[in-house]
């Protein structure tokens, strides 16, 4: 018999052990909260952008030098992205010539960051009082930053947006789906329904498990060496990126499709075989439709993984400066995570909040995709 | 005895290196019910699955010997198993309707075999369900899922689905083992009706059932056919000691 | 002149429309035969698919051969591509059309082709592995003709800057480039160790709590929540480590009177560890739950506390699975790229101080392959040599985890 004091000690040890578990969970949850609060806090300012009211004089000089359209005092406060549109505007509306109009112009990122009171805004001392005065007079106001969603990348932070990167991501993922899903599903069908049980089949299975564990950056090396250097796919193109990610996603899709196929009960196959359905008919008419929700879920998860992937895409050159959405899969493109990466290495303070905002967009899409996968799994889960 | 529908001679079967059937010779009569009985693992289900080559799919399964259906070897190299299985239908231990509507369950096989055009479908569904004595219970819910029926109804749906292909032979692998006594009684009644048109070979664990519904009975033990004969003879005056021990419940 | 994209589009449209024609023709022929001569062996649709397969197999096969020769630079004639591949397809199709009669086993023919198609798909995963191995091996081999393997593995100084000039033929008698990879691997392992020091205790205790203490409902909420950590893109973690955690580490170090670099090893290591927590916790949770209940009951019935049962019975039984999870997690940490690219340093540094900046294998690969590439310069090729080592390490870890699971998992039946 153990003495009561010994028992007490053992119970204390028991409690402590459970506490370690709670602490581990709490640590993870705290980190998750801290992480989201930090990212969202950094991102929110990016959704507002300063606009400044300036008198624009439409004169002949503007056609050759757009800086001449506004008074000198404003030139350092207004974004070039606004000024360079003026010559076209004058061409489209010749009646404006010789007039002076008050117009709301996109403010320079320094003005924007200064008014948001961010450290490292970079606005020179001599402009600060002027900006504050304009802000008091309501000649500067903050508006929803629609440019962030309607523009591509730009060297002018105030004009930079995620549109080109989002379009790039869509193109890349489209290629990834079109290549990886059919091949992955067919591989899984072969392994589950057709393959003879021999050494070669086992080799394929071992190989797929290994592929799933290979670091993504090595897929980048494959993409660079095979797709770009040997097959001549243009560097930085959505095609190069999409094919690389397709190979990377393949094991995920194969593994989840096999699980889905395996969950279809043998009795359904027996029933169909017993009625004289052929091998292919059993798969196409019965097994595949029943496994479809599982395949869909697995594909969405694989897709979400591919969407957040950056490293292999850097290797195939998808971190180029892309101000316009790509028009074809052979043109240079960038993707959302790569855009986040390039912005994060920019020194201008305004890019930091844009990086965070880009991250927020990425996270919202990814978490929605994952939630969709969970929902589909719950919705179509069949108990046999 | 009348002409044999299926005759099996010297049939041996291996799972890997394990010989599961040691040279079976047996003849199944047309339009009769033959029951295969014996303790678990005796090879009766294995034999049944040889008759429509469902064993083909099992890895490492090898068959030697002859199985003649109407005088044609079903293991001959030019035999199409798909055609074979349309002639030799099968009903399984656990009811396994497709997770589709009752209607689709019935028309699936005739459709893939191109046996019937669109106009004949409704008629085929009705006759099949009627023959399986389930029409009255389901005629108002033909488009509801087959899986929503009770176990006994599901099994009769599976029988109807098999009949829809118009087979000559129906194999039944313990068709009542997952059912309650009332549902079992209905299936047994149905089997009795069906034998006027079909050759039925059934595996059963339930000796009363074998005695009730079958014309012939084959007793298997350890991969050998011990005794085969008229059901009444087997149950009243078995020739072999092992058969007697089994049917009197001394082992098994 | 047609671009590759044009050729591709034309080829695909041509083969698609011809396939439709072949399908419809064969199907109608079959239906006609059925009306005149009685029931066919196979359904008319199979006849259609048979015709499609007769057309597509030689056409696509030859087009594939052509692309290989084209990539090798041996032939470049679109006319040749179209004539030969479609020509062969037509001939094969017409020979096949003779088979369209009542007893033709179109279904078997189609099934054979489709089974081969599935098999080809399965081969792609093999080719992917071969592709990775050979692309890395080939360039790495070229690297080792310039830099001796021994120097690469044991050298303590990585200073490749001048290699780029030599490769470009502008060697102005500067310093000799050095490719000693030891400091790079030291940095990789330091960050990996930091990550595992975070991930293993937290992940393991989280798994123990979820599988042994938490109610079913709580567990069902906690598990997906923790898995969010694994779903966050690594580029996001990299930003977070560089912008938020690194300054925190520097300030904390200052509070203790220590000097820390902004590219210290601690920040990426910590964040990588957090990223790996769900990896360890999910896999461990699964193996802990696979330990049969009777084993626990037996121990509890002897009068042990819950914690003692877990420590003495459950964890030892689950140990092989946990080790396998650990090995996979290490391989994940070593191969992780974005966190270290954004938060760790670029300068190879042989140090044991986690507050200093270190660099890693993946950082060097990214550095060498983004921007200008010269495939005859050791600077670019070094990336492939590093990639080769990375590949070998991950394969060994992965195979190791498989062996651990196979050899040491207890069977409870």
B111 to chain C, minimum CA–CA distance in Å? 9
Partner-chain contact C107 B82, CB within 8 Å: yes
The pLDDT of C11-29, averaged and rounded, is: 93
Query: What is the rounded radius of gyration, in angstroms, for the C-alpha atoms of chain A?
Result: 29
The pLDDT of B182-189, averaged and rounded, is: 91
Q: Is residue B82 less than 8 Å (CB to CB) from chain C?
A: yes
pLDDT of residue B231: 93
Query: Where do the H-state alpha helices sit in C147-181?
Result: 149-154, 161-167
pLDDT of residue B1: 44
| Dihedral (Cα; B172, B177, B178, B182), 10-degree rounding | 100
DSSP-assigned states of every residue in B21-65: EEEEEEEEETT-EEEEE-STTSSHHHHHHHTTTGGGGSTTEEEEE
Place A307 in a pLDDT band, splitting at 50, 70 and 90: very high
Contacts (Cβ under 8 Å, ≥6 apart) of B35: B202, B203, B204, B209, B210, B213, B214, B216, B217, B218, B231
Partner-chain contact B113 C43, CB within 8 Å: yes
The number of C-alpha atoms within 13 Å of A345 and in the hemisphere containing its C-beta is 13
Provide the greatest CA pair distance for chain A: 104
CA C156 to CA A260: how far, in whole Å? 50
**Between β-strands B88-91 and B72-73, what pairing exists: parallel, antiparallel or unpaired?**
unpaired
C173 to chain A, minimum CA–CA distance in Å? 31
CA C405 to CA C413: how far, in whole Å? 17
Beta-carbon pairs below 8 A across chains B and C: 10
CB distance C206 to C277 below 8 Å: yes
Instruction: Supply the range of the domain harboring residue B242.
Output: 4-95+168-247
C12 to chain A, minimum CA–CA distance in Å? 15
Q: Is residue A267 less than 8 Å (CB to CB) from chain B?
A: yes
pLDDT of residue C410: 63
Q: How many CB atoms lie within 10 A of CB C199?
A: 26
pLDDT of residue C172: 53
Contacts (Cβ under 8 Å, ≥6 apart) of A192: A258, A261, A262
Q: Spell out which residues of chain B touch residue C105, defining contact as CB-CB under 8 Å.
A: 80
The closest CB to that of A216, out of C5, C114, C337, belongs to C337
Nearest CA in chain B to C108: B80
Phi then psi for B230, rounded to 5 degrees? -60, 140
Determine whether B181 is exposed, middle or buried from the number of CB atoms within 10 Å of its CB (0-12, 13-18, 19+): exposed
pLDDT of residue C55: 92
Place A320 in a pLDDT band, splitting at 50, 70 and 90: confident
Partner-chain contact B86 A275, CB within 8 Å: yes
Q: Which chains touch B (3 or more CB pairs under 8 A)?
A: A, C
Q: Spell out which residues of chain A touch residue C338, defining contact as CB-CB under 8 Å.
A: 310-311, 341
Q: Which helix (H) or strand (E) holds C411?
A: none
Answer yes or no: is B163 within a domain.
Answer: no
Tell the CATH superfamily of the A163-380 domain: MetI-like (1.10.3720.10)
Topology of the domain comprising C178-408: MetI-like fold (1.10.3720)
Q: For chain B, what percentages of helix, strand and coil (3-state, to nearest 5) are there? A: 40, 25, 35
DSSP-assigned states of every residue in A296-365: HHHHHHHHHHHHH--HHHHHTTTTS---S--SSTTSB---HHHHHHHHHT--SHHHHHHHHHHHHHHHHH
Mutual orientation of helices C4-37 and C78-97 as an angle, nearest 10°? 10
Phi then psi for A55, rounded to 5 degrees? -80, 120
Partner-chain contact A211 C129, CB within 8 Å: yes
**Between β-strands B199-203 and B169-173, what pairing exists: parallel, antiparallel or unpaired?**
parallel
End-to-end CA distance of chain A: 50
Partner-chain contact C124 A250, CB within 8 Å: yes
> Tens digits of per-residue pLDDT, B15-60?
888 889 998 999 999 999 999 998 888 888 999 999 989 888 787 8
> Tens digits of per-residue pLDDT, C35-94?
888 878 888 889 999 999 999 999 999 999 988 888 877 877 888 888 889 999 999 999
Answer yes or no: is B38 within a domain.
Answer: yes
DSSP-assigned states of every residue in A222-235: HIIIIIIIIT-PPT
pLDDT of residue A47: 92
Report helix, strand or coil for C207.
helix
Q: Is residue A292 less than 8 Å (CB to CB) from chain B?
A: no
The closest CB to that of A14, out of C121, C234, C306, belongs to C306
Answer yes or no: is B115 within a domain.
Answer: no
C164 to chain A, minimum CA–CA distance in Å? 18
Residue A89 has pLDDT above 50, yes or no: yes
Nearest CA in chain A to B49: A274
By C-alpha distance, which of C47, C330, C387, B18 is closest to A223?
C387
The number of angstroms, rounded, from the C-alpha of A255 to the middle of its chain's C-alpha atoms is 24
> Tens digits of per-residue pLDDT, A157-188?
888 899 999 999 999 999 999 999 999 999 99
pLDDT of residue C43: 84
> Tens digits of per-residue pLDDT, C131-158?
999 989 998 999 998 888 888 888 888 8
The pLDDT of A356-376, averaged and rounded, is: 92
Lowest mean pLDDT: which of A62-71, A245-254, C228-237, C334-343? A62-71
Average model confidence (pLDDT) across chain A = 90
Partner-chain contact B82 A196, CB within 8 Å: no
By C-alpha distance, which of C108, C23, C16, C25 is closest to C60?
C16
Partner-chain contact A273 B85, CB within 8 Å: yes
Strand partners, A332: A237
> Tens digits of per-residue pLDDT, B190-243?
999 999 999 999 999 888 899 999 999 999 998 899 999 999 999 998 888 888
Q: Is residue A270 less than 8 Å (CB to CB) from chain B?
A: yes
Q: How many helices (H) and strands (E) does chain C have?
A: 17, 2
B→A interface, C-beta within 8 Å: 52, 54, 57, 59-60, 82-86, 89-92, 94, 96-99, 108-109, 112-113, 158, 161-162, 165
pLDDT of residue A69: 85
Residue A383 has pLDDT above 60, yes or no: no
Average model confidence (pLDDT) across chain C = 88
Lowest mean pLDDT: which of B242-251, C272-281, C391-400? B242-251
CA distances from A48 to A113, A128, A165, C260 (A): 11, 20, 20, 35
Report helix, strand or coil for B8.
strand
CA distances from C197 to A276, C252, C303, C348 (A): 59, 19, 33, 23
CA A329 to CA A331: how far, in whole Å? 6
Q: Provide the chain A residues 97-136 that lie in CB contact (below 8 A) with chain C.
A: none
Residue B207 belongs to a domain with what CATH number?
A: 3.40.50.300
Q: Which chains touch A (3 or more CB pairs under 8 A)?
A: B, C
Place C343 in a pLDDT band, splitting at 50, 70 and 90: very high
The pLDDT of C278-304, averaged and rounded, is: 89
Q: Provide the chain A residues 170-189 that lie in CB contact (below 8 A) with chain B.
A: none
Q: Which helix (H) or strand (E) holds B9?
A: strand B4-15
User: Of all residues in chain B, what percent carry a pLDDT higher than 90?
Assistant: 57
Place C331 in a pLDDT band, splitting at 50, 70 and 90: very high
Place C171 in a pLDDT band, splitting at 50, 70 and 90: low
Provide the greatest CA pair distance for chain B: 57
Residue A73 has pLDDT above 90, yes or no: no
pLDDT of residue B68: 92
The strand order across the sheet containing B33-37 reads B88-91, B169-173, B199-203, B33-37, B216-221, B224-230
Q: Would you list the domain boundaries of chain C?
A: 4-132, 178-408
Determine whether B21 is exposed, middle or buried from the number of CB atoms within 10 Å of its CB (0-12, 13-18, 19+): buried
Residue A313 has pLDDT above 60, yes or no: yes
Q: Is residue A138 less than 8 Å (CB to CB) from chain B?
A: no
CB distance A160 to C95 below 8 Å: no
pLDDT of residue A327: 83
CA C301 to CA C290: how far, in whole Å? 20
By C-alpha distance, which of A160, A161, A144 is closest to A48?
A144
Q: Is residue B182 less than 8 Å (CB to CB) from chain C?
A: no
CA A355 to CA C268: how far, in whole Å? 18
The pLDDT of A323-349, averaged and rounded, is: 88
Q: Would you list the domain boundaries of chain A?
A: 49-143, 163-380
């Amino acid at each position: 018999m153990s003495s009561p004091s010994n028992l007490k000690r053992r119970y204390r040890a028991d409690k402590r052990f459970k506490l370690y578990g709670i602490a581990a969970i709490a640590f993870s949850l705290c980190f998750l909260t801290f992480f989201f609060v930090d990212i969202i806090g950094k991102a929110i300012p990016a959704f507002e952008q300063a606009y400044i009211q300036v008198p624009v004089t439409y004169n002949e000089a503007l056609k050759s030098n757009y800086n001449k359209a506004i008074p000198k005092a404003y030139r350092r406060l207004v974004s070039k992205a606004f000024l360079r549109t003026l010559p076209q505007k004058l061409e489209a509306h010749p009646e404006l010539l010789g007039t002076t109009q008050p117009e709301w112009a996109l403010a320079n990122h320094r003005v924007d960051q200064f008014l948001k009171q961010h450290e490292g805004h970079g606005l020179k001392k001599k402009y600060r009082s002027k900006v504050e005065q304009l802000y008091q007079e309501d000649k500067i106001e903050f508006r929803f930053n629609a440019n962030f969603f309607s523009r591509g990348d730009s060297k002018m932070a105030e004009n930079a947006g995620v549109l080109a990167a989002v379009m790039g991501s869509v193109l890349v993922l489209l290629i990834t789906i079109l290549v990886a899903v059919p091949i992955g599903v067919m591989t899984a069908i072969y392994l589950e329904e057709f393959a003879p049980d021999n050494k070669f089949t086992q080799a394929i299975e071992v190989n797929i498990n290994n592929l799933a564990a290979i670091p993504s950056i090595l897929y980048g090396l494959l993409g660079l060496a095979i797709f770009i250097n040997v097959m001549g796919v243009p560097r930085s193109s959505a095609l190069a990126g999409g094919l690389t990610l397709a190979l990377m996603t393949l094991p995920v899709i194969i593994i989840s499709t096999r699980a889905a196929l395996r969950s279809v009960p043998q009795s359904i196959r027996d029933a169909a075989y017993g009625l004289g359905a052929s091998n292919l008919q059993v798969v196409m008419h019965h097994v595949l439709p029943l496994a479809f929700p599982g395949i869909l879920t697995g594909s969405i998860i694989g897709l979400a993984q591919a969407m957040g992937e950056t490293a292999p895409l850097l290797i195939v050159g998808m971190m180029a400066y892309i101000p316009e959405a790509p028009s074809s899969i052979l043109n240079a493109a960038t993707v959302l995570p790569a855009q986040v990466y390039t912005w994060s290495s920019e020194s201008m303070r305004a890019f930091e909040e844009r990086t965070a905002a880009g991250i927020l967009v990425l996270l919202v899409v990814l978490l929605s995709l994952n939630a969709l996968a969970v929902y589909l799994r719950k919705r179509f889960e069949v108990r046999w | 005895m009348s002409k044999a529908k299926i005759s099996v001679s010297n049939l041996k079967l291996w799972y890997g290196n394990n010989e599961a059937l040691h040279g079976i010779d047996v003849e199944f009569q047309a339009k009769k019910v033959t029951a295969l009985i014996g303790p678990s693992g005796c090879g009766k289900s294995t034999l049944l699955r040889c008759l429509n080559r469902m064993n083909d799919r099992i890895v490492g399964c090898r068959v030697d010997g002859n199985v003649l259906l109407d005088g044609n070897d079903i293991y001959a190299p030019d035999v199409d198993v798909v055609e074979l299985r349309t002639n030799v239908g099968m009903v399984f231990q656990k009811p396994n309707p497709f997770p589709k509507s009752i209607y689709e369950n019935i028309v699936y096989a005739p459709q893939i075999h191109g046996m019937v055009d669109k106009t004949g479908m409704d008629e085929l569904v009705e006759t099949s369900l009627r023959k399986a004595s389930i029409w009255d219970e389901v005629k108002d819910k033909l488009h509801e899922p087959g899986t929503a029926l009770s176990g006994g109804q599901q099994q009769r749906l599976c029988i109807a689905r098999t009949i829809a292909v118009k087979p000559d032979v129906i194999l039944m692998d313990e068709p009542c083992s997952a059912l309650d006594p009332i549902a079992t009684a209905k299936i047994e009644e149905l089997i009795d009706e069906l034998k006027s048109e079909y050759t039925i070979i059934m595996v059963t664990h339930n000796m009363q059932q074998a005695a009730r519904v079958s014309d012939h009975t084959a007793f298997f033990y350890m991969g050998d056919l011990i005794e085969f004969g008229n059901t009444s003879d087997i149950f009243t005056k078995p020739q072999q000691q092992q058969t007697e021990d089994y049917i009197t419940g001394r082992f098994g | 002149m047609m671009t590759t994209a044009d050729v591709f589009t034309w080829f695909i449209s041509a083969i698609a429309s011809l396939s439709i024609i072949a399908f419809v023709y064969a199907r109608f022929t079959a239906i006609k035969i059925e009306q005149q001569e009685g029931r066919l062996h196979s359904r008319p649709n199979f006849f259609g698919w048979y015709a499609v397969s007769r057309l597509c197999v030689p056409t696509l096969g030859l087009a594939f051969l052509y692309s290989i020769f084209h990539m090798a630079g041996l032939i470049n004639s679109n006319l040749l591509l179209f004539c030969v591949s479609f020509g062969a397809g037509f001939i094969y199709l017409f020979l096949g059309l003779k088979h369209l009669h009542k007893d033709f086993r179109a279904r078997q023919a189609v099934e054979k082709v489709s089974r081969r198609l599935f098999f080809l798909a399965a081969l792609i995963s093999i080719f992917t592995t071969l592709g990775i191995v050979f692309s890395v091996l080939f360039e790495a081999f070229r690297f080792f003709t310039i830099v001796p393997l021994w120097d690469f593995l044991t050298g303590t100084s990585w200073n490749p800057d001048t290699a780029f000039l030599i490769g470009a033929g502008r060697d102005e008698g500067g310093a000799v480039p050095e490719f000693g990879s030891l400091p790079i691997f030291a940095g990789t392992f330091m960050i990996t160790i930091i990550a595992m020091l975070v991930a293993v205790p937290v992940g393991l205790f989280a798994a123990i709590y979820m599988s042994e203490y938490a109610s079913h409902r709580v567990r069902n909420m906690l598990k997906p929540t923790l898995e969010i950590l694994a779903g966050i893109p690594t580029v996001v973690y990299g930003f977070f480590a560089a912008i938020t955690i690194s300054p925190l580490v520097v300030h904390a170090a200052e509070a203790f009177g220590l000097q820390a670099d902004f590219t210290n090893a601690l920040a990426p290591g910590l964040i990588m560890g957090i990223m790996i927590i769900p990896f360890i916790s999910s896999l461990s949770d699964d193996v802990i739950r696979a330990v049969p209940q009777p084993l626990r009951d037996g121990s509890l019935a002897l009068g042990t506390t819950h914690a003692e049962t877990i420590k003495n019975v459950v964890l030892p039984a689950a140990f092989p699975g946990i080790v396998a999870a650990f090995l996979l997690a290490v391989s994940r940490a070593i191969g992780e790229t974005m966190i270290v690219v954004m938060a760790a340093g670029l300068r190879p540094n042989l140090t044991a101080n986690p507050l200093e900046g270190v660099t890693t294998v993946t950082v060097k690969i990214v550095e060498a392959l983004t921007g200008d590439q010269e495939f005859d310069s050791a600077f670019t090729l070094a990336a492939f040599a590093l990639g080769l080592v990375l590949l070998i390490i991950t394969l060994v870890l992965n195979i190791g985890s498989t062996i651990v699971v196979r050899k040491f998992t207890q069977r409870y039946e």
